[in-house]
Amino acid sequence: MRQLMERNVNNSNGLLKVIAIFGWASILGVSMNANAGLFGFGGDSWKEEVLLHDGTKIIVDRSQSYGDPRHMGDAPPIKEQTITFTLPGTNKPITWKDETTEDIGHANFDLLALHIKNGIPYIVTSPNLCIAYNKWGNPTPPYIFFKYTSKTWRQIPISDFPTEFTNINLVIDDGAEAKNIASHGVVSSDAVKKLNGRLSQKEYKTIIRLPLSNGCPKLDPVKGGGWQSPGGAKAPHPIIPSDSDTEKRQ
């Protein structure tokens, strides 16, 4: 009789443990659905409507995956991000990709705008955090520009970026919210403008061409400074997000 009672107690405790585990799994599941990328798991993907400078619109596919946050409570950094689109009048998909590099420890850029002129696409980005600003030479205004030529994304100076391109037309680093909106369809250009309207930085309101401080200190390599990375000071080396997948298909 005593053995039977003890077995029933043990079974009950085991059942409680199973219920507790499933309970926590459910809670975490809800949290991860609400904010994909929690603790570095998962990612976000969505379709976005981009308003071009001439008033036309195109639909792009965007995705973000996340790394592990450095500290508990921090938002997970973007590990990799892509934007894929088809040039108007063609059936050729083009992809811009930004991924983690060892010197930065996360993706290099915040993606700000996509523009097209004479069939040539341009991308506007801003270095992500001060470590990336130092790597990319502390640009002012705080942008890095890319132009798609010969099936490759190449960095260009602001002087080569068409002056008619002025609007910030991509959702800035808010993949979870964009994914939530896109669950009911494409993130419209009006929704993009509304999401970005929450940001206060001048460089996120319009594409600025005058000098503008990014707030990051410039380190002097002569005095033992230079830009700092998780592995220590290193000389900057540029990366060129490529359209490798598209090139393989061609």
User: In this predicted model, what pLDDT tens digit does every residue of 14-24 receive, in sequence order?
Assistant: 444 433 433 43
Beta partners for 155? Answer: 146
pLDDT at position 214, please? 73
**122 and 85 both lie in a single domain:** yes
Structure-token pair, residue 189: 């250009």
Q: Provide the H-helix boundaries in the chain.
A: 2-34, 129-135, 175-182, 189-196, 244-249
DSSP 194: H
**26 and 101 both lie in a single domain:** no
Q: Is residue 39 part of a domain?
A: no
Please tell me the total count of domains within the chain. 2
**89 and 29 both lie in a single domain:** no
Q: Is residue 18 part of a domain?
A: yes
**29 and 86 both lie in a single domain:** no
Q: Is residue 8 part of a domain?
A: yes
DSSP 40-56: G--EEEEEEEEE-TTS-
**25 and 110 both lie in a single domain:** no
For residues 87-116, give the mean pLDDT. Answer: 95
pLDDT at position 220, please? 55
Q: Is residue 41 part of a domain?
A: no
Report the alpha-carbon angle 134-130-53, nearest 5: 90
Q: Is residue 174 part of a domain?
A: yes
Q: Is residue 120 part of a domain?
A: yes
Model-wide pTM > 0.85: no
Backbone phi, psi, residue 238, to 5°: -70, 150
User: In this predicted model, what pLDDT tens digit does every residue of 182-210 receive, in sequence order?
Assistant: 988 999 999 999 999 999 999 999 999 99
Structure-token pair, residue 111: 């993606």
What is the average pLDDT score of the chain? 78
**192 and 93 both lie in a single domain:** yes
SS3 call for 235: coil
User: In this predicted model, what pLDDT tens digit does every residue of 162-185 receive, in sequence order?
Assistant: 999 999 999 998 889 999 999 889
* Total residue length of the chain: 250
**10 and 114 both lie in a single domain:** no
Q: Is residue 69 part of a domain?
A: yes
**100 and 202 both lie in a single domain:** yes
- Cα separation, 118 vs 245, whole angstroms: 23
Q: Is residue 40 part of a domain?
A: no
pLDDT at position 20, please? 41
Domain, as residue range, for 84: 46-249
